[in-house]
A and B are shown apart, each in its own frame.
Chain A
Amino acid sequence: MKRSTLLYCSLFAGIVLGVGACKKSFLNVNPEGQVFESNYYQTPDEAFSGLVAAYNPLAWTVVSSYAPKMVLLTLASDEAYAGGGSSSDNPGFQAWNTYTLNSGTPNVPPDLWQRNFTGIFRVNTMLSKINGVPGLTTDLQTRYTAEMYFLRAYYYFDLVREFGNVPLITKVLPQSDFYNQVQAKPADVYAQIEKDLNAAIPGLPATVNIATEGGRVTKGAAQALLGKVIIYENNNGRMQDAANALEQVNTSPNYHLLPNYADIFNPGNKFNAESIFEIVHTNQSGKTWSNWPNFDGNVGSDGRATFL
């Protein structure tokens, strides 16, 4: 009996130890259809989808509620009044109209803030991933990187004009830095915008295939934005820099004024020679009011969700 007892006990101990040995992988379970960031950006297609996501906030017109940038900017101009059913209709719009925006104004300021910082996060994410995408050609890598720099400049240009002092974030924040960002001076933000645009220009194509890539960033778009940014910096000593940048666009064979002014407004005439950078809206997304607030396109031109 003693011998067999020992035998069984060793067998038993063996089993127990065996279980212990395989436990590391035992805790790593199948994600069942969830895609992890850590496993993503592994193919050229995945990199492209990341690029698309970085463009996506450009088209946002609804964030928590209506916050279409063009409508708001127009309301602050002489071209339009907020209108609506009464002075309490869409108070965010009314406040833009009457220059009474403050921290209590509903939705509009945080919405604009969120739209641009969302874009910046997606740009920073792409920039952190783009160098390690297997199979992505050097050309595409260069072009994507340049587009990201452009988009970051574009989003920061909006932020610095809308808010003045904003946190300047040029990489994906680690957990430890979520709560300790400080506001940068506008001059620093502008410096970063120029830096990004200058970094973008060499890597961008002069033209794109309008049918498949219309709306993607071109060299001309970056040069034009750089010129505009310098002008907004309002530094008389640098106006020549702005002129130099804009000159490149003016002298480019890819851009000229359309002979017929009305053609600019013809829906069939998208991405024409007069258009340097377009934010593209679509009615193909199939989104309806039930998708609120995620229209992905323009709530004003989505076909189904008409507004204004």
Chain B
Amino acid sequence: MRKRTLAGKLLLLVLLFLGNSTLMNARSQTNAWLTSYSQASANVARQYQDQGGQARSISSILAEARKIFDVDFIYESKVMPSARVIIDVDKYKSVEDFLDELLRPYNLKYKKVLSKAYVIYSNNPELKRLIASLLKQDGMSADVATTSSSDAKAILVTGKISDEKGPLEGVSVVVKGTSKGTVTDKEGRFKLEVNDANAVLVFSLVGYQTKEEVVGNRSDIALTLVSQSQGLNDVIVVGYGTQKKSVVTGAISSVKASDLDDQPVYRLEDALQGRTTGVSIAANSGQPGSTEQVRVRGITTINGNDPLYVVDGVVLDGGGLDYLNPADIESIEVLKDAASQAIYGARASTGVILVTTKKGKAGTMRVSYDGFYGSQGPARKLHLLDAEQYATLRNESSLAGGKGVIFANPQSLGKGTDWQSQIFDNNASIMSHQLSISGGTDKSTFYTSLGYFDQNGIVADPISWYKRITARFNGAHKVTPWLNFGENIGYSYIRNQGLGNTNSEFGGPLSSAINLDPTTPVVITDPTILNDPNSIYNTKPVVRDAQGRPYAISNYVGQEETNPLAYIKTQQGNSYNWSHNFISDAYMSILPVKGLELKTNIGTKLAFWGTNSFTPIYYLNGSQGNVITNYYRDAENLFIWDWENTASYNRHFGLHNVTALIGQSAWENNHAQINGNFQYMPVTSLSQATPNYSLPNADKVANGKDDVAHTLSSEFARVVYSYDERYLLEGQIRRDGSSRFGSNNKYGYFPGGSIGWVVTRENFFPTSKALSFLKIRGSYGVTGNDNIGDFAYVSTVSGGRNYTLGNNYEVGNSPNAPPNPDLKWEQTTQVDAGLDAVVLSNISVTLDLYNKKTTGMLLDQQLPLYVGSSANPPGNIGNMSNKGIELELGYNKKVGQVNLGLHANGSLMQNRVTSLGITPFQTGAHIQSVQYELTRNQPGYSWNSFYGFKSEGIFQTQADVANYVNKAGQMIQPKAKPGDYKWADLNGDGKISDSDRTIIGNSIPTYTFGFTATAAWKGFDILIFGQGAGGNKLYQGLRRLDIQTANYSTAALRRWTGAGTSNNYPRLVDGDPNNNFIYPSAFYLESGAYFRIKNLQIGYTLPQSLLRKATLNKVRVYVSGYNLITFTHYTGYDPEIGGINNQNNVGIDRGFYPQARSFQAGLSVGF
């Protein structure tokens, strides 16, 4: 209605126009001043040709549009917002469409006043003024005109604007109080006439703090703009689309390529650790190429907790993410709240990680090289006993156990062998090279890259290494204004070798180095042994070093703990894994009518991987040997395809903005494997082994596996509504059908909704520097986890239920578990409340609170035995809850010539298993000879809590033992001796039994935090990135308990040796009759809290003046220290322990392969 009345008024004005004889004049006049105005913008328009797709000021866009549509735009410059926007003028079919899109967000209106002229205005008086000024033949009011040749005293001002990184292009420079203005060019330069020396220039650019400068007597102004911390205009990726950060209502963490600038990021997960809230990352091992454990907002389920990865819109299953070269990543978004996740429905409850790879930009072709080379070493080693100390303690333990002395003269043994120094490499190399080329035209853009990454391990590096080659080609093409096409293709080839056990008490170089006695030499040099024809060194196929000396075999420590160098030798060159990954997607989108986009996207992941290994004949010790050569070859392939079809529609109606999306997708995952063992091949190493050898069939054994295909068929829809970017509303729903769901629940619905209110956009809200932006938001949603196994809902038939009839052993088959056709996804509901704010203009704050409840966790139903089934069917039984608080702070400030930045974040989380149905608890991990399980899932406690006995200290005297009595006056531990643990009789039954165990610690961190501090001065920059976690305990299970001769850590020197010597480290005694060590107890639990300086980097960027001569764009050199210092009380190698393969390994240190500390130097060059 309002519009129509305006139109009426306008009509009157136009009639006025028409009645005026100077109409033509007026028009040409308009053209004249517009042209003059446009002069400043002319080079912007020209730049557009090279730089299409980049954000530009609105006036420069209008200047371009003027040419394209052949129309004039008339407006008061002061009403133009300083915002820079990305808009592709070419794609609009009419000037009205174009203006609609461009102006609505800024509450600007437009009117066509002539056949080829439009007035842009914000209110009616302004419109009148403009038209009136058009009517004046000789020009406009000062507000409208931009140049005035009549001013004789005009001063020409030039200048250069830059930020901490270099020249800034596109900075709007306006003379305050007028509409005179220009924009800086590619080199940050501008040229502008002002009336007098008192003129004030206003410099503004989105993302930077606006600055005002009095011209004074300067004719050349050099300025550095400081970037704003809030980043509210950043665009972030959400499921099936993008949103401006200022209007996002979900809880989404985002990491941009710029946050990672030239920092060493070896893997995708590295980019998230310490830089995002609500995401806990723990390395699964320090072995090169090892995966890292990623948990979004705690532990969502007792089953698989890996988040869903979506790369360029293609849903990929977790695992094998190392095909992604981190340098190719443009942004990573973590969808944390259920409303944002709901668009991914049945696979989203453990979090969704959206990865977007880099795309090309129209304009000059950019070539850049980034690389680094570094040296790695262990950050710390364990303190283990030397030979003399070891022999002394072993003697003591043996004597206490009633046996004789083992080492007659410990003093004579000296230091002995330091096995750790034998396996650690203090100078393992790491390097990365990345070459990328990007560019294109306004019709077609591309980004292409080649990368090489090579890392050696710090433990047993001959058998611990990783090499990766990656290639990427991303392209986008505008076939016609309404038809787009594009593709993202990534390829990687990886070859690596792992040392086998990276967190296992059962052997491998690490566990061996920890447990082997220091009295055994590395190699045998004693001629009496070497010359003894009956010695094992002459009778067994022992392993020898390069000089032919046999590696020593310990006389004391055996089983899986072997001479690590001998072990390495058997593996060296005899095993490697390989993989080829092709990840690609292609899309086509059609824009049939304004605002509507139809898109179809087909993505695939095609992966081939396998292992080649050869086991030679060897003898490592009495239990570890191999007498038959075996050549093993494994080949696996995986094929995922994902077809997504969407229709999205976006319209502005006044201040109302609506985006609607509907879509449909189909997804399938297939995996197959085949492998073979070839025995008795007449070769001695992998390089000679080949299946071409003719071997009898009996010596060739093949195995294989076809995984059941996993399919999903889904539909989804989302509506996003905002009013004036002030009131925000979003709703989405997805329906997923999964091959894994039971027949009664084949389809699940996953809705989510969120609301937001930008308080600071209210008229009543005072404009203040103290609080310039405040958005309050809330969301609720339902998501699922379809990681419930294939065909878990049906009753399967198995054999082995045989019976003998007559002389025949007949095969019997019968059903296993009864079917559970109701079986469905695990369901997670989550409430999130949060706020985003900018305070004191340069501090950004994001705060989130959430409460997440998982119901129907898959668990075997405990059927009564009278049901008679041979197995229990899984059911949707267990419940879990996670609550947390997340805080993110950002701060940027320029102090003198120094730009400072600080980004910090912290997350608190609490996890509880709330129900396991009638199952009282689930037992978790075991560690070799410890008598009971180490962890339990028990309702009321955190997932995977440590479970064990409690000690009340150590019996110092026999009297203490005698005085420890139950109610009946009987001794509770009658067999205990002084120096033994006094176990707490928790159930009060007067004796110590397995029912005296209780929850003794939490295995998952309850808080994580991180910060990045940066400072830049001229060309120099320094960055400190730190990160940490805590609130958890670690189980330090490094010493083998079943090998009582295993070496000790130096903590054993503080053992109990007599009354008053110790109240926490019991006596050493062979056989451990009081179970001091084989009972799981707090003895093994240590705080897992740590803080780590993950990266300290100093860089220098060469000044532009030098570079221009060499036609270079950017040259930066840097040195950095990675994993530099770790502050922790933990006594193992590394407090950051994920769960390899089995999530029950979380927090249990069995000899964890520590992460390397490295020092590296890097170079970035851009052309």
Q: B-contacting residues of A (Cβ < 8 Å)?
A: 1, 5-6, 8-9, 12, 15-16, 19-20, 23, 26-38, 40, 46, 48-56, 58-59, 110, 113-114, 117-122, 124-125, 166-167, 169, 172-173, 175, 178-179, 181, 209-216, 271, 280-282, 284-285, 294, 296-297
Contacts and interface: CB of A to CB of B under 8 A. Distances in A.
B1156 to A, nearest CB: 41
Contacts of B746: 27
Contact of B739 (A1, A27, A114): A27
Contact of B868 (A31, A58, A119): A119
Given A29-B739, A181-B864, A214 B592 contact: no
A32 B822 CA distance: 22
Given A35-B798, A178-B864, 9 more contacts: A9-B598, A19-B664, A34-B708, A38-B794, A52-B803, A53-B812, A53-B814, A121-B868, A178-B863
A16 B645 contact: yes
Interface of B: 480, 482-483, 590, 592, 598, 600, 643, 645, 664, 666, 668, 706-713, 715, 737-739, 746, 790-791, 794-815, 818-820, 822, 861, 863-870
Contacts of B814: 50, 53-54, 56, 122, 125
Nearest to A110: B865
A122 B587 CA distance: 54
Contact of B600 (A12, A280, A281): A12
A211 B807 contact: yes
B565 to A, nearest CB: 34
A265 to B, nearest CB: 19
18 contacts: A6-B592, A8-B592, A9-B598, A19-B664, A20-B664, A29-B710, A37-B795, A37-B819, A48-B810, A52-B803, A55-B803, A119-B868, A173-B818, A178-B867, A179-B864, A181-B866, A215-B806, A285-B809
A169 B795 CA distance: 20
Could you say which of A19, A114, A209 has the most chain B C-beta atoms within 10 Å of its C-beta? A19
B592 A56 contact: no
A71 B504 CA distance: 43
Nearest to A124: B868
A212 B806 contact: yes
A72 B713 CA distance: 56
Contact of B590 (A12, A35, A53, A120): A12
B868 A120 contact: yes
Contacts of A214: 805-807
Could you say which of B798, B809, B822 has the most chain A C-beta atoms within 10 Å of its C-beta? B809
B708 A31 contact: yes
Contacts of B803: 52-53, 55-56, 58-59, 215, 280, 296
B810 to A, nearest CB: 5
Closest 7 CB pairs of A and B: A121-B868, A52-B812, A53-B812, A53-B814, A53-B801, A214-B806, A37-B795
B801 A56 contact: yes
A125 B819 CA distance: 13
Contacts of A8: 483, 590, 592
A181 to B, nearest CB: 6
A117 B812 contact: no
Given A37-B815, A49-B813, A216 B805 contact: yes
Nearest to A19: B666
A30 B811 contact: no
Contacts of B707: 32
A166 B708 CA distance: 41
B865 A113 contact: yes
B788 to A, nearest CB: 14
Contacts of B796: 34-37
A280 B868 contact: no
Contacts of B590: 5, 8-9, 12
Contacts of B818: 172-173, 175, 178
Contact of A212 (B483, B643, B805, B820): B805
Nearest to A49: B813
A296 B804 CA distance: 9
Nearest to B813: A49
Contacts of B811: 49, 52
B365 to A, nearest CB: 31
B807 A27 contact: no
Contacts of A280: 803-805
B706 to A, nearest CB: 5
A15 B645 contact: yes
Contacts of B643: 19
A271 B480 CA distance: 89
Contacts of B711: 26-27, 29
B737 A294 contact: no
A124 B815 CA distance: 11
A9 B810 contact: no
A284 B809 CA distance: 7
A285 B809 CA distance: 7
B802 A212 contact: no
